[in-house]
Homo-oligomer: A and B are copies of this chain.
Amino acid sequence: MITLDEKFRALEADNAPGQEVRQDLGELNAIMRGGKFDGVPVDFSHGDVDAFPPTPGSAEAWKNGFDRGGHQAYTEYRGAAKIREGLADRLGAFTGRPVSADSELIITPGTQGALFLALGATVTAGTKVAVVEPDYFANRKLVKFFGGEIIPIPLHYQGSLSENGPDLNRLEAAFKSGTKVFVFSTPNNPTGLVYSDSTITAISALGAAHDVTIIVDQLYSRMLYSGEVYTHLRSCDILPENLITIMGPSKTESLSGFRLGTAFGTSKLIDRMERLQAIVSLRAAGYNQAALETWFQEPLGWMEERISDHEAIRDELLKIFRAANFLTATPQAGSYLFPQLPPLSVDLNTFIRLLRHQAEVTVTPGPEFAPAFSDSIRLNFSQDHAAAVAAAARIVKMVEVYRT
Contact = CB atoms under 8 A, between A and B. Distances in A.
B275 A121 contact: no
A57 to B, nearest CB: 12
B257 A285 contact: yes
Interface string A58-84: 010011011001101111110001000
The complex is assembled from copies of this chain, and their number is 2
B18 A77 contact: yes
Nearest to A108: B281
Contact of A121 (B4, B66, B113): B4
Interface stretch (A27-35, A43-51, A297-305, A389-397): A43-51
A18 B69 contact: no
Contact of A74 (B18, B73, B76): B18
A104 interface: no
Nearest to A7: B124
A3 B113 CA distance: 22
A61 to B, nearest CB: 11
A312 interface: no
Interface in A248-277: 254, 256-259, 271-272, 274-276
Nearest to A18: B74
Nearest to A125: B1
A30 B98 CA distance: 36
Interface centre among A13, A70, A126, A254 (most CB of B within 10 A): A70
B122 A11 contact: no
B257 A72 contact: yes
Given A22-B76, A49-B70, A16 B257 contact: no
Contacts of A124: 1-4, 7
A282 B257 contact: no
Contact of A279 (B22, B145, B284, B285): B145
A19 B74 contact: no
A11 B110 contact: no
A13 to B, nearest CB: 4
B70 A59 contact: no
Contact of A76 (B21, B59, B75, B259): B21
A280 interface: yes
A122 B8 CA distance: 10
A112 interface: yes
Interface string A331-352: 0000000000000000000000
